[in-house]
Chains A and B, each alone.
Chain A
Amino acid sequence: MIRHGSRRWLIAALVAAFAVSWFSTRFNQYYLGIAIDVGINIILAVSLNLINGHTGQFSLGHAGFMAVGGFTAAKLTLLYGESLYPFSLIVGGIMAALAGLLVGIPSLRCKGDYLAIVTLGFGEIIRVIFQNSQFFGAATGLTGIAKLTTFFWAWGIAAVTIYVIAGLVNSTYGRGFLCVHDDEVAASAMGINPLRYKVTAFVIGAFFAGIAGALYAHHKRVLQPDGFNFIKSIDIVVMVILGGMGRTAGVVVAAIILTLLPEVLRSFASYRMIIYSLLIIGLMMGRPQGLFVWPIFKKNAKN
């Protein structure tokens, strides 16, 4: 989808995000807030797709990395002022990437279900650490975070995330991720070091998850460790599976749909989550290969 003229595509997306953001005061603030949610979820889903989809390593720890980025960035702007916001996004990303490295090196020796359990455990450990850290506000978390995430930041970074990850997977180096996914033994026999690729995928995925967490912190203005439990991780996994593992375009659409769906269903009040769950079950039974995988997507779909 974005192999040709991809840089032009990125610039167009950034300009569009900026333009929408410029007029954002005229929009209904409720809808604008949801639009920013969508942007953040795209970043989360596309970055998790690098790990779970392209590289084929089932991770359930994405919310943990999001928490690391969110708490780091929020603490930074709370302590040193709002002007540090762009910087705090990057620091949040880097801290999450470091967490990804720390988690990745030991746990990526496990495969499949075992890896899922190990990453789930690590995600929970991260959450519990925040819950017990006075510096990060313990169980109440952080409040009074400045509202700095605009439509431009959320969607601009979403565009950059898609650009970087799709570009990476399509590069000669990045084909290694797909090879590790398809067959680790054959990949080793080609001179590829699978562990290095897996850790790289983890670190890059965690980096963007950390940025998403930082955006989230400055969007919601309140951060609670409880918000980053494993259910949050599973929400992101569902976006990846529904979109079709390893299909960036599909995952983006799934992230949009699954963010909007609970909002659309709000009028059903307490039945909302039941309907939401039933819809997901139905979609999975109808299209187990992912919503947006069909032959015309085949060649591009790996983007």
Chain B
Amino acid sequence: MMLEIKNLNVSYGAIGALHGISLQVEQGAIVTLIGANGAGKSTTLRAISGLARAKGQILYQGKDITNLPPHKIVAAGLSHVPEGRMVFANLTVMENLQMGAYLQRDKSVIRTTEEFIFSVFPRLAERRKQLSGTLSGGEQQMLAIGRALMGQPKFLMLDEPSLGIAPLLVKTIFEKIVEINKTQGITILLVEQNANLALEVASYGYVLETGQIILEDKSDALRANPKVKAAYLGGM
């Protein structure tokens, strides 16, 4: 098992955000976490990457990583693409990618990773000298994903990659996510509000509601589930 979460609790001050959730992500899989606004999806990712203090247990490849500082978790091979993209606006595309390789010392590894990222996202190659704050939303998302890949993660967490992006680009980005998973064997935990899209690319899904997991199943089964259909898939 790549990642195993047992009875995770997170609160912000007096307000509980996660109430004892448990989930598992198998090696090489794409697993999705769907749910409405405020359900605790982002909080789950923040807890895994050490950005939010948590109670419970997070096991990564069998090792306990609960509440380690974020830079140690990145070093262990978990990369987090935070919600809202958050590229370093005052750095160029190239400099952003270099920062992604912050913990990577081997220059040749950096170069091959760069080439791989440019092959996945040719748009980034065209704009490598541009200040990243001037990129479009979709391009910034590509850059954020590319930057996370520069760290050579084994486990990639994506927080709402479709947020605020033109529908046409959303489709491209999701295709790329699948490509990264297939060709590089990177395990992906995908957080999405767009449940339709997420369940299409993922093999397994968890449904989060007010800090609790209320449903989990194979993606196909979830898509057929009348409750999920009614609440998250536009009632089709």
A binds B: yes
CB distance from B71 to the nearest CB of A (A): 5
In angstroms, Cα B98 to Cα A178, docked, is: 13
Q: Which residues of B contact A191 (CB under 8 A)?
A: 70-71, 74-75, 102-103, 151
A91: interface (CB < 8 Å): no
The answer to whether A189 and B74 have CB atoms under 8 Å apart is yes
The answer to whether A175 and B98 have CB atoms under 8 Å apart is yes
Is chain A's binding surface mostly helix, strand, loop or mixed? helix
B49: interface (CB < 8 Å): yes
In angstroms, Cα B114 to Cα A174, docked, is: 21
Q: Which residues of B contact A176 (CB under 8 A)?
A: 99, 102
A185: interface (CB < 8 Å): yes
CB distance from A175 to the nearest CB of B (A): 6
Chain A, range 178-206, C-beta contacts under 8 Å to B: 178-179, 181-183, 185-193
In angstroms, Cα B91 to Cα A286, docked, is: 26
The answer to whether A302 and B103 have CB atoms under 8 Å apart is no
Q: Which residues of B contact A302 (CB under 8 A)?
A: 90
CB-contact partner of B70 in A172, A188, A298, under 8 A: A188
Interface range on chain B (Cβ under 8 Å from partner): 20 to 34
Q: A182-B90, A188-B70 are in contact. Are A172 and B82 (CB under 8 A)?
A: no
| Inter-chain contact total with CB atoms closer than 8 Å | 69
The answer to whether B51 and A186 have CB atoms under 8 Å apart is no
Q: Which residues of B contact A178 (CB under 8 A)?
A: 88, 90-91
In angstroms, Cα B69 to Cα A178, docked, is: 20
B211: interface (CB < 8 Å): no
The answer to whether A186 and B90 have CB atoms under 8 Å apart is no
The answer to whether B98 and A189 have CB atoms under 8 Å apart is no
In angstroms, Cα B82 to Cα A298, docked, is: 27
Chain B, range 52-85, C-beta contacts under 8 Å to A: 69-71, 74-75, 79-82
B4: interface (CB < 8 Å): no
In angstroms, Cα B89 to Cα A246, docked, is: 14
Interface range on chain A (Cβ under 8 Å from partner): 20 to 34
Q: Which residues of A contact B49 (CB under 8 A)?
A: 188-189
Most buried by B among A181, A186, A302: A186
CB distance from A254 to the nearest CB of B (A): 20
Q: Which residue of B lies closest to A191 (CB)?
A: B74
CB distance from B146 to the nearest CB of A (A): 12
The answer to whether A179 and B103 have CB atoms under 8 Å apart is no
Q: Which residue of A lies closest to B46 (CB)?
A: A185
Residues of B within 8 A of A (CB): 49-51, 69-71, 74-75, 79-82, 86-91, 95, 98-100, 102-103, 131, 144, 147-148, 151
Q: Which residues of A contact B74 (CB under 8 A)?
A: 188-191
The answer to whether A192 and B102 have CB atoms under 8 Å apart is yes
5 extra interface residue pairs, beta carbon distance < 8 Å, beyond A176-B99, A191-B103: A187-B88, A188-B71, A189-B81, A192-B102, A193-B70
Q: Which residue of B lies closest to A172 (CB)?
A: B98
CB distance from B187 to the nearest CB of A (A): 17
Q: Which residues of B contact A192 (CB under 8 A)?
A: 71, 99, 102
Q: Which residues of A contact B144 (CB under 8 A)?
A: 186
Q: Which residues of B contact A193 (CB under 8 A)?
A: 69-71
Task: Give 25 pairs: A residue, B residue, CB < 8 Å, sorted on A.
Answer: A175-B91, A175-B99, A176-B102, A178-B90, A179-B88, A181-B90, A182-B89, A183-B88, A185-B82, A185-B86, A186-B82, A186-B88, A186-B144, A187-B88, A188-B71, A189-B51, A189-B74, A189-B79, A189-B82, A189-B148, A190-B102, A190-B147, A192-B71, A193-B69, A302-B90
Q: A172-B98, A179-B91, A193-B69 are in contact. Are A185 and B51 (CB under 8 A)?
A: yes
Q: Which residues of A contact B102 (CB under 8 A)?
A: 176, 190-192
